[in-house]
Structure 1
Amino acid sequence: MLITDGSLVAAIWAALHPRTLLLTAVTFLFLTNYLKNRRPKNHPPGPWRLPFVGNLFQLDLEQTHLVIQQFVKKYGNLISLDFGNIPSVVVTGLPLIKEAFTQMEQNFLKRPITPLRERVFKNNGLIMSNGQTWKEQRRFALMTLKNFGLGKKSLEQLIQEEALHLADAIGEEEGQPFDPHFKINNAVSNIICSITFGERFGYEDSQFQELLRLLDEATCLEATRMCLLYNVFPSIMKYLPGSHQTVFRNWEKLKLFVSRMMDSHRKDWNPVEPRDFIDSFLTEMAKHPDKTTSFNEENLICSTLDLFFAGTETTSTTLRWALLYMSVDSEVQEKVQAEIDRVIGHGRQPSTADRESMPYTNAVIHEVQRMGNIIPLNVPREVTADSTLAGFHLPKGTMVLTNLTALHRDPKEWATPDIFNPEHFLENGLFKKRESFLPFSMGKRACLGEQLARTELFIFFTVLMQKFTFKPPVNEKLSLKFRMGLTLSPVSYRLCAVPRL
């Protein structure tokens, strides 16, 4: 009987075609994925999804934020999108954004940790950490930034000095066409480097230029399809070549740079007289040798790197947009320069004390931020407990994206939403704050460097407008096209900086 049964099983097995087995296995996997990731009842509407990859292939990754606007028109102000196996919702409109990030903020404080971010940072640093680590690191960073000049004249003077260095470097181009990208990156980065590392780096420093290039490349590549696919299939993608491997290599090189700076600091570190952020962190580590807090070497490296990234990329990208818009719109540039000449003149440096007397310049900077739209979907959040928003159910673990693109281009809020127009921030000749302007986000997870960024933008921009007139090269037409990455930056361009004095 046993032999007969064994022969029957063998006969059935032999009859099964390999393709049948493969089809059965694939069907099982797809069914399992569907049951695991099917949308719950009363979930926000959205486009159809594919198993495993979700809506990835419905999104043009060169302009994701613009494709999403089409979905918003079709499905409404709260839509669901799946980035691979990461269930997400996009929140559109100021009322919903305020409801989520003020009235229900406790349910939206967390950052989602994707496999790519997990591999590079784990739950370390300032930007993507959560829980006790985030609370400790943010509190410490804010305190340390204040200790080293944030909101004080000393830091403003540092920015003024760096603005002169930048002006000198641009002046060396003698009005000939050049790409301002890494000159601006270097200048802006030197401010946060002075706070974190205790030193600035010359514009001809080849090692530092390489670091800036690595940072720029990683920022650009993290939004590519290969990196998004890594988040879906990390166990497979880690063995395959692609842009995700370049991102990992670049971040490791950047972490190694910070690690070496940390080792260098240890050699002559005096806990009584901290020179910068790294010294202050080393002192904090010494207070907690039992390692019961987040003050450890890995967090020192990641928090320093977060400050370096955030303090370099966002402000420098905004300034690059500013010079581009000024080169394209000579009339606006002339009005800025007329205000600078009237309020400051040519003989002294701009300071933040001048800002209130310069409503037009202030309005232009804000309009650059609105149109540049450098973080179009905000830094993502994650739902920490089952929640209800706009009558829809959001399960715990859902990623939340804020539609800043729609907010900053809302025709109900802005007279000419798609046109560069500083009058959006002016009323009767005075600067006007706008509630629908959130480039630094809002709530407890708003950008901790907002005050520093505002100071840098005003001083750097005003100094450059005071000293130069920016123009397109002869017979070249400047493009306002963007490059999609972690930030939305202008495509490479050249311009001419003609000295005004």
Structure 2
Amino acid sequence: MLGIVELFVALVSSLLILQFLKLQWMRSQLPPGPVPLPIIGNLWLLDFKLRRETLAKLTTIYGNIYTVWMGQTPVVVLNGYKAVKDGIVTHSEETSGRPLTPFYRDMMGEKGIFLTSGHTWKQQRRFGMTIIRSLGFGKNNLEHQIQTEASHLLAIFANTKGEPFNPRTSIVHAIANIICAVVFGHRFSSEDESFSKLIKAVYFVIYFQATIWGRMYDAFPWLMHHFPGPHQKVFAYNDFMHSLVMNEVQMHEREKTSDPQDLIDFYLTQIAKTKDDPTSTFNKDNMVQTVVDLLLGGTETTSTTLLWALLYMVQYPEIQERVQREIEAVLEPSHVISYEDRKRLPYTNAVIHETLRYSNITSVGVPRLCVRNTTLLGFHIKKGTLVLPNLHSVVYDSDHWATPWKFNPNHFLDLDGNFVHKEAFLPFSAGNAPTFQHLSSFVLQHNNKHSKF
């Protein structure tokens, strides 16, 4: 009996040693990093999470490009503006892949914008950005929708009559309604049951994967798919979102218009226009997922940013007062604020940008997948390698920010008080910041103009 146990131990030990040696060989082909262990890689070192503090500590040891092992999977982490820019701007084509975790693969598939790669991603993203710009014009444009929601928000704040209250629900509803107006062409009442359920669905889908149940699903997808638990609730919420969007699509189809007013109108026109093009990726599945992507990508991020903005205004009353003075000095009391006004409000604009930088709600950024071999700051990265841009390290890069760990609007002002753009301002990765900045700018400026926090 003892011989069998010894044989088993010897076999397991041999396999672990072989695995360890294999990892060391693979490690030699990647940027430096902590030594991975068989099976768990560096998870023990990371405390099973990608924490900002841990990534910063590893930067001091291994430099701005290093490799960590999430189990048996190597992830090349880019730190600081120079490395992140090289990875997601200079070599954006090479790192344009989107790795799909089992959870997101089973829930959404390779459709829409956020979780697609290659030809589909290019077509969907380019079309989406074009439509968002198109909706900036006309009578019922994006700016008008934001002004409308800002007015609703101010009315809710005024009704509190100076008493303490939690603004989170009101802000989330306002941001979600802006996105609904853009994609559906109408807003929802706060009492609408479908709207309330949509808000819950967005929250559950966004935050589920970071829970222990989300990690278990990614580790054992086949088993978890058939196992009861909170993940089944998330799938149900996801189905609800898709059904809600499809109902809106069907209403748009019944009420055909020659004058597109929202994203669904434009998308249906594009489907009809490209129906005979074999290279087209425009279809109802991609349309529905694109709308869901915008709801998921915009609601929580923008509302969280605005909540941080309110907190900073309370925490730094001298900054709040200076914003108030600038707005009152430049704009007439009856003036309806517009995005163009930012050019006359340099300090207010700087405060908004500093809020985005300092709050840094997106943290490490979205992982990318190398679709072909590339070189990042001298390191050779093979096709199929996961790359993680650490956005926190960019907006807190001491080489580009005078006081990175301090809320300081002067980061975006020159010596004469004029607003200046900063190349290291990447709060939502490359290419995504403008849309969220616009939404944040309107609401924050509108609130400041009419009332002190």
Look up the equivalent residue of 1:433 and give its one-letter code.
Answer: H
Instruction: State the SS of the aligned residue for 1:346.
Output: coil
Question: How has the CA–CA distance of structure 1 residues 37 and 219 changed in structure 2, closer, same or farther, with 3 Å as cutoff?
Answer: farther
How far residue 277 of structure 1 moved from its aligned partner, in angstroms, is 1.7
Look up the equivalent residue of 2:148 and give its one-letter code.
Answer: E
Identical-residue share of aligned pairs (%): 37
TM value normalised by structure 2: 0.90
How far residue 29 of structure 1 moved from its aligned partner, in angstroms, is 7.8
Q: How does 1:256-295 map to 2 (within 5 A)?
A: 256-270=243-257, 272-289=258-275, 292=278, 293-295=280-282
Do the aligned partners of 1:93 and 1:407 also contact (CA within 8 Å) in 2? yes
How far residue 193 of structure 1 moved from its aligned partner, in angstroms, is 1.0
Q: How does 1:215-294 map to 2 (within 5 A)?
A: 215-240=202-227, 244-270=231-257, 272-289=258-275, 292=278, 293-294=280-281
Map of 2:69 onto structure 1: 82
**1:306-341 CA-partner distances (Å, limit 9, x unpaired):** 122223222222111101111111111111111111
Residues 157-166 or 388-397, more deviating: 388-397
How far residue 244 of structure 1 moved from its aligned partner, in angstroms, is 4.2
How far residue 462 of structure 1 moved from its aligned partner, in angstroms, is 1.1
Q: Please tell me whether residue 147 in structure 1 is matched to residue 134 in structure 2.
A: yes
Q: How does 1:90-489 map to 2 (within 5 A)?
A: 90-149=77-136, 154-240=141-227, 244-270=231-257, 272-289=258-275, 292=278, 293-428=280-415, 429-442=417-430, 446-447=431-432, 450-470=433-453
How far residue 465 of structure 1 moved from its aligned partner, in angstroms, is 1.3
How far residue 290 of structure 1 moved from its aligned partner, in angstroms, is 6.4
Do the aligned partners of 2:81 and 2:397 also contact (CA within 8 Å) in 1? no
Map of 1:493 onto structure 2: none
How far residue 243 of structure 1 moved from its aligned partner, in angstroms, is 5.2
Q: Distance in 1 between matches of 2:443 and 2:429?
A: 23
Question: How has the CA–CA distance of structure 1 residues 244 and 50 changed in structure 2, closer, same or farther, with 3 Å as cutoff?
Answer: farther
Question: How has the CA–CA distance of structure 1 residues 208 and 50 changed in structure 2, closer, same or farther, with 3 Å as cutoff?
Answer: farther
Question: How has the CA–CA distance of structure 1 residues 230 and 81 changed in structure 2, closer, same or farther, with 3 Å as cutoff?
Answer: farther
Question: How has the CA–CA distance of structure 1 residues 26 and 42 changed in structure 2, closer, same or farther, with 3 Å as cutoff?
Answer: closer
The RMSD of aligned alpha carbons is: 2.8
Q: Distance in 2 between matches of 1:49 and 1:237?
A: 27
Residues 275-284 or 68-77, more deviating: 275-284
Map of 1:482 onto structure 2: none
How far residue 227 of structure 1 moved from its aligned partner, in angstroms, is 2.0
Instruction: State the SS of the aligned residue for 1:257.
Output: helix
Do the aligned partners of 1:61 and 1:223 also contact (CA within 8 Å) in 2? no
Do the aligned partners of 1:84 and 1:229 also contact (CA within 8 Å) in 2? no
Q: Distance in 1 between matches of 2:285 and 2:13?
A: 41
Do the aligned partners of 2:96 and 2:118 also contact (CA within 8 Å) in 1? no
Q: Please tell me whether residue 45 in structure 1 is matched to residue 45 in structure 2.
A: no
**1:229-279 CA-partner distances (Å, limit 9, x unpaired):** 433432344345555444433323222222222233333334x34342223
TM value normalised by structure 1: 0.82
Do the aligned partners of 2:373 and 2:383 also contact (CA within 8 Å) in 1? yes
Do the aligned partners of 1:85 and 1:232 also contact (CA within 8 Å) in 2? no
Q: Across the two proteins, how many residue pairs are aligned to each other?
A: 451
Larger radius of gyration: 1
How far residue 24 of structure 1 moved from its aligned partner, in angstroms, is 4.1
Unaligned runs of 5+ in 1: 1-13, 471-501
